[in-house]
Amino acid sequence: MNALRSPFLSGSVQPSKLILTPTTIMLKPTAKTTRTSKPPFPNSSPLVPVLNVRAVRIEEKPKTSTRREPTTTTTTLPRSANPPSPSNNIPSPPPSRNKSTATRRVPSPPQRRPVVPTLPTLILNAVDDVINNFIDPPSKAYVDPRHVLRDNYAPVLDELPPTECEVIEGSLPACLDGAYIRNGPNPQFLPRGPYHLFDGDGMLHSIKISKGKATLCSRYVKTYKYTKEQEVGGPLVPNVFSFNSLTSSATRGALSFARMLASQFNLANGFGLANTSLAFFADRLYALGESDMPYSVRVTPNGDIETLGRQDFDGKLMISMTAHPKVDLDTGEAFAFRYGPVPPFLTYFRFDPTGNKQPDVPIFSLMTPSMLHDFAISKKYAIFAEMQLGMSPFEMIFSGGSPVGTDPGKVPRIGVLPRYAKDETEMKWFNVPGFNPMHLTNAWDEEDAIVLVAPNVLCIEHALENLDLVHSMLEKVRIDLKTGTVRRTPISARNLDFAVINPAYTGKKNKYVYAAVGDPMPSISGVVKLDVSKADQRQDCTVACRMYGRRCYGGEPFFVAREPDNPEAEEDDGYVVSYVHDEVAGESKFLVMDAKSPELDIVAAVKLPRRVPYGFHGLFVRESDLSKLM
């Protein structure tokens, strides 16, 4: 994919004046034209730098009217919105006499001033250009930004302040009183070196719903990395997939060290992206990425999103935390872990209902550095899945492979630890050949056994490099803690991932699972509802299905209970929500589906004022909980 064909740089672009500085390019429109018929480069062309510049931003001329936007405590620049632009693929609405329609028009961003680089910045940026263009340009498709940032995977160009949306079908249920927030990567600057789908600065897309009306807001998580790169006007911190050979590791490592000596950034303040998921516990909302600590965020009464800062829990949290903590809604506790390349490779910990972090429990029985993206809890245990996917620094350096790779000779294991353990003495490991779950959906206790539900990646060797070849099959795994017997039962042979449940059933026996349909992954063409209780009878577990339509793709579904405070409510009494993008029409929608209906009937569809790029994980936060974030 050529970078100039990406929606990030293309569309019905107006001829523009180029403002060139040693660090940025900014485009200002002058007159309208139509889209060109041919791209400058074919898809298969090698990565050739078009201009010897450090970073690219596209800026359209603002309107004469201005709108004052609030700022957060973690950034010194004003928040701005992205106007209807080529990359958003949303046509400008026609003039209307209706006042409510006018308020849905996307505001224009304020004028940006080019960053004037210092001499050290100019020198280090020049070195970075040499590395990216000549020493180690992206050589594989899965790290070529022209290939990765295509279609709706391309970033939106700027933030979007709270903007009213139009309900175009049905009506929003009264129980959807709060905000659905989804996290995902949205690089602040166009990458010129290697770039993976998992990279990109975290951007939160929140649709706040109140009294049947919806407001969309898209804001970056103002991480330390984001703010430092914004200050210099270009990328500073290389991503992990940039270190894929001895040469690239040495050159990029030396450049990063030089940037630290020049005080451009400090690794002690973190380098994470906070682009993976969100969690709400102890009356706090966090944006998460497993390479760093959580970032506390809030949704304001008018629907805006603010970053409050990096959270180390009074100095008790070290280095990083999983992007998939588990919250027990019955007790108010949160359970989490971290993993890394040095011993202990796994560390487990928890938070009490007030958010106080409890002491670490290092797990030394995990003998090799393994990638543990997710885990599960039951009422008694914490469950970890050691996959055939691990950190491989030697292969990266000497063979030019990925920093995270597969080990075909490794036997996957499931580790079970009492969830209130103070050390690992009671940790038990069970060999489960061929079981490689990237995500764990839920777990519960049954007498002397644990039942785990998770999508198993059947071809783990493609999990990072060729996602379109990945097939994940949802399985039900029963672990007999006395005999050590592990029994696996397929729930569905379909390609499923991003499986979720009613959050009230976390750690408890659940009947229903809602999973995203890969077509192929990472494109998600629909959602299915599964009855896991039918798996033991070898029956078809699919009880409902909703496909989004031709070239319409969504993301992870999320279940919202209709009566969350009613203990007698049925498990599936609620709604399944997700963002969906139509690649033909170039429009994004927010869909609300009836979870009890056999076809997951759409009860409401909200047209969004601009496209929402594909992303990762999200959650719904009730208004009563949002008010606690004030």
Phi, psi values for residue 623, rounded to 5°? -60, -35
Name the residue among 238, 71, 276, 175 with its Cα closest to residue 560. 175
DSSP string, 185-241: E--SS---S---TT-S-EEEEEEEEETTEEEEEEEE---HHHHHHHHHTS--SPPGG
Q: Coil, strand, or helix at residue 437?
A: strand
DSSP-derived letter for residue 40 is S
User: What is the spatial distance between Cα 379 and Cα 414, in angstroms, rounded to a whole number?
Assistant: 17
**Residue 324 labeled ligand binder:** yes
User: What is the spatial distance between Cα 416 and Cα 433, in angstroms, rounded to a whole number?
Assistant: 16
DSSP string, 443-475: EEEETTEEEEEEEEES-GGGTTT-GGG--EEEE
Rg (CA), the chain: 24
**Residue 617 labeled ligand binder:** yes
User: What is the spatial distance between Cα 265 and Cα 259, in angstroms, rounded to a whole number?
Assistant: 7
User: Is residue 622 a contact partner of residue 629, using CB atoms and an 8 Å limit?
Assistant: no
Structure tokens at 107: 């505001």
**What distance lies between CA 605 and its chain's CA centroid?**
23
User: What is the spatial distance between Cα 463 and Cα 472, in angstroms, rounded to a whole number?
Assistant: 10
Question: Amino acid letter at 18?
Answer: L
Q: Which residues contact 425 (CB under 8 A, 6 or more apart)?
A: none
Q: How far is CA 209 from CA 169, 592, 611, in A?
A: 15, 12, 18
User: What is the spatial distance between Cα 238 and Cα 222, in angstroms, rounded to a whole number?
Assistant: 18
User: Is residue 221 a contact partner of residue 202, using CB atoms and an 8 Å limit?
Assistant: yes
Name the residue among 380, 364, 530, 371 with its Cα closest to residue 441. 530
Q: Coil, strand, or helix at residue 339?
A: strand
- Ramachandran region of residue 415, left (φ > 0), alpha (ψ -120 to 50) or beta? beta
Annotated binding-site members: 324, 373, 439, 617
Annotated binding-site members for Fe cation: 324, 373, 439, 617
